[in-house]
Amino acid sequence: MIARHKIATIYGLACALAASAQALAQSANPAAPLASLPLPTQPATSVAEITGTIQAAATVSANPGIPNGTAVYYTLSASVPDPSFSNSRSASGNATVSNGIISISANLPYDMLVSSSSDKIVFTLQLTATVLGTPALTFSTSFNSAFAPPANGTTTSLSFSGTI
């Protein structure tokens, strides 16, 4: 979970920058008393913490060149592209081709910061299968979804199907 002290640190930096700007403004115009300059009472942007879980399920048909029993590596990732924060979470695992099908069911908990009501969670499920041989063959595909952050603590279910 993102520590609240990080938010306090961001707020402190914003206040320090504002104080520096005030000092610079007063040195440029010494006739303006410091008391007449506005003091920041809030951070420049409003910050909200979002938490939840993405429950991803995928049923993927394997290319005929991928034999049954082949391990398929997958990565789940979620991010909130926000100019103020670096938010991303990821997890990975393995599945196995069985009867020409790859079935994946995985959860990705998240805890991120947003600064705008228009921010979206961008989710990606990436699959990669390597068939050993001469030459080795690598197959990959990805599925994507973007959605508005739901209420905190919510589990969002996403389902994907396709071919690798």
Give the domain CATH number at 89. Answer: 2.60.40
Are residues 32 and 62 both part of a single domain?
no
110: exposed, middle or buried (Cβ count in 10 Å: 0-12, 13-18, 19+): buried
- Say what the pLDDT of residue 37 is: 43
- Say what the pLDDT of residue 67 is: 96
- Say what the pLDDT of residue 82 is: 79
Measured from the Cβ of residue 95, the count of other Cβ atoms closer than 10 Å reads 20
Are residues 74 and 134 both part of a single domain?
yes
For residues 136-156, give the mean pLDDT: 95
- Say what the pLDDT of residue 31 is: 52
The verdict on residue 43 lying in a domain is no
The amino acid at residue 14 is A
pTM over 0.95: no
Are residues 59 and 136 both part of a single domain?
yes
pLDDT at residue 148 greater than cutoff 90: yes
Are residues 155 and 76 both part of a single domain?
yes
For residues 70-98, give the mean pLDDT: 92
CA distance 2 to 13: 18
42 secondary structure, DSSP code = S
pLDDT at residue 30 greater than cutoff 70: no
- Say what the pLDDT of residue 36 is: 43
What confidence category does residue 10 fall into, taking pLDDT thresholds of 50, 70 and 90?
Answer: low
Say how many CA atoms lie within 13 Å of 94 toward its Cβ.
6
Are residues 125 and 60 both part of a single domain?
yes
Are residues 78 and 134 both part of a single domain?
yes
- Say what the pLDDT of residue 153 is: 95
pLDDT at residue 146 greater than cutoff 60: yes
